[in-house]
Structure 1
Amino acid sequence: MAVEAQGAEEGGLVFHPMDQFIVKPLFGGSEVGMFTITNVTLWMFLAVLAVVALMVLGTSRRAIIPSRTQSVGELAYGFVYKMVEDVAGKDALAFFPYIMTLFMFIVFANFLGLIPMSFTTTSHFAVTVVLALLVFVTVTVVGFVKNGSKFLGLFWVASAPLALRPVLAVIEVISYFVRPVSHSIRLAGNLMAGHAVIKVFAGFAAIAVVSPISVVAITAMYGLEILVSFIQAYVFTILTCVYLKDALHPSH
């Protein structure tokens, strides 16, 4: 209570919800350089390790009667495979390994971030922007390699009245180059907001008067964040499939 009083007197928060997103070096010093191993590096590595454990080690036996781990791996495989086939078409299945890797990494990064005292790597724009830019560059290169100059047909709405086509073309070009921004902000923003709210309720839980309410609220928010973690990975992946479809079939 003395700490709370001191914080109130100083006019600041007793707890700081955004502190959980601070990037910190794991070894020595406080400065973060290009090759510094940080908490982001650690939890990204753990996410990759979890994906390998599930999809490689968990399915290595390929038993006719699958174990629980193999069943989860097979369900994830079938879920993403059907998503790619249904959204982008059968000719997009060549990119299934990339999309599957993207989905599994985001899912595990999101879920690992729900562990107390962990770090949510996908709440940082530095991570999600890289993922979004990789998708953007891949889709653009595929579009030009497969279709050549016909890929520019993506920006020309042939079904619209002729007078409106130049205006719509400008809008289509702008919306195309905005894709990496919306793609990355949607993922990072949702996770950051959810974790910040949980942290706020956790801070209020220390106050005896509202403690029961805070515990209920934290439980509800935590359950919601589990759902959001999966949904955001799904949204990021299905948008990747939509963009890939545009690259493979650019004509309106």
Structure 2
Amino acid sequence: MATEEASEGLVFHPMDQFKVEPLFGGDAIHWYTPTNATLWMGLTVVAIFLLLVLGSRGRAVIPTRVQSIAELAYGFVYKMVEDVAGKDGLKYFPYIMTLFMFILFANFLGLLPMAFTTTSHVAVTVVLALAVFIGVTVLGFVKNGASFLGLFWVTSAPLAIRPVLAVIEIISYFVRPVSHSIRLAGNMTAGHAVIKVFAAFAGAAILSPLAILGVAAMYGLEILVSFIQAYVFTILTCVYLKDALHPHH
């Protein structure tokens, strides 16, 4: 019996919730196969549309609750872009607003029971991070030409150490999409896995009360983390945009 139990391993598998599976059965996944990931990304887009388009279409002087939430989100991101990237960064506000809302709603929808958290997959967050990285790099060269390379030359440092700092700056610049994407995916994966572990222990009679408290505490923490990670991803995008618009140290 001991050998049989040992061979079975864990009774619960907290990482199973992150498996990408076809919606209509089968095992093969092609680029055109509808999966649980594409379903929840689609629901994310629908939820954003309902909030920002349908929820605020009345444009009432005294806003409804949904319109108030839409206006708060708009004002929050607008102020972020203006404060970090400056007035000239507001031209790119629509893209940054879309990025923030997509990540925020994807994170929140992933907290629903039986949902799929699309931002827990590096394949999703890497695409978002690479879009930002390539976009700001191209923008930097278009706006500044060769002087964009001044981003890597720290003029405020002593001349002797500027070449060393330039190498460090170049490495850190190309690491941006890696840290930008892994931070979001890692936080979403870790939090959901811990919730699953606590939920599995809730079935044990002795550990049940503690496990339920643990799930409630982790769930509350995940709500906070979901917002913070969307905020961090967006504000870093604003920082990178600022570097592209004003590359000189």
TM-score by length of 2: 0.98
Pair 1:12 & 2:9 matched: yes
CA contact (8 A) 1:146 1:248 kept: yes
3-state SS of paired residue (1:163): helix
Which residue is 2:247 aligned to?
A: 250
The aligned amino acid for 2:168 is I
Which residue is 2:156 aligned to?
A: 159
The separation in 1 between residues aligned to 2:56 and 2:3, in whole angstroms, is 55
What displacement does 1:6 show?
9.5
The separation in 2 between residues aligned to 1:7 and 1:13, in whole angstroms, is 12
The aligned amino acid for 1:141 is V
CA contact (8 A) 1:7 1:13 kept: no
The separation in 2 between residues aligned to 1:7 and 1:52, in whole angstroms, is 51
Which residue is 2:103 aligned to?
A: 106
Which residue is 1:59 aligned to?
A: 56
Which residue is 1:142 aligned to?
A: 139
Q: Describe the superposition over 1:106-137 as per-residue Cα deviations: whole angstroms up to 9, x where unpaired.
A: 00000000001000000000000000000001
What displacement does 1:8 show?
3.5
Which residue is 1:171 aligned to?
A: 168
- The change in CA–CA distance for 1:7 and 1:211 in structure 2 (over 3 A counts) is farther
Q: Describe the superposition over 1:82-109 as per-residue Cα deviations: whole angstroms up to 9, x where unpaired.
A: 0000011010000000000000000000
Match of 2:43 among 46, 68, 77: 46
The separation in 2 between residues aligned to 1:238 and 1:88, in whole angstroms, is 9
CA contact (8 A) 1:187 1:232 kept: yes
The separation in 2 between residues aligned to 1:9 and 1:111, in whole angstroms, is 37
Match of 1:237 among 213, 228, 234: 234
CA contact (8 A) 1:8 1:14 kept: no
What displacement does 1:10 show?
2.7
Q: Describe the superposition over 1:170-204 as per-residue Cα deviations: whole angstroms up to 9, x where unpaired.
A: 11000000000000000000010000000000001
Q: Describe the superposition over 1:8-50 as per-residue Cα deviations: whole angstroms up to 9, x where unpaired.
A: 3435000000000000000231111111110000000000000
The separation in 2 between residues aligned to 1:157 and 1:244, in whole angstroms, is 18
CA contact (8 A) 1:155 1:173 kept: yes
Aligned residues: percent identity? Answer: 75
The aligned amino acid for 1:165 is R
What displacement does 1:166 show?
0.7
Which residue is 1:23 aligned to?
A: 20
3-state SS of paired residue (1:15): coil
CA contact (8 A) 1:7 1:14 kept: no
The separation in 1 between residues aligned to 2:210 and 2:3, in whole angstroms, is 24
The separation in 2 between residues aligned to 1:13 and 1:105, in whole angstroms, is 34
The aligned amino acid for 1:155 is F
Q: How does 1:78-117 map to 2 (within 5 A)?
A: 78-117=75-114
Pair 1:198 & 2:198 matched: no
Moved over 4 A (4+): none
The aligned amino acid for 2:54 is L
What displacement does 1:205 show?
0.6
The aligned amino acid for 1:193 is A
The aligned amino acid for 1:18 is M
The separation in 1 between residues aligned to 2:169 and 2:89, in whole angstroms, is 23
- Superposed CA RMSD in Å reads 1.3
Q: Any gaps of 5 or more consecutive residues in structure 2?
A: none
The separation in 2 between residues aligned to 1:67 and 1:142, in whole angstroms, is 39
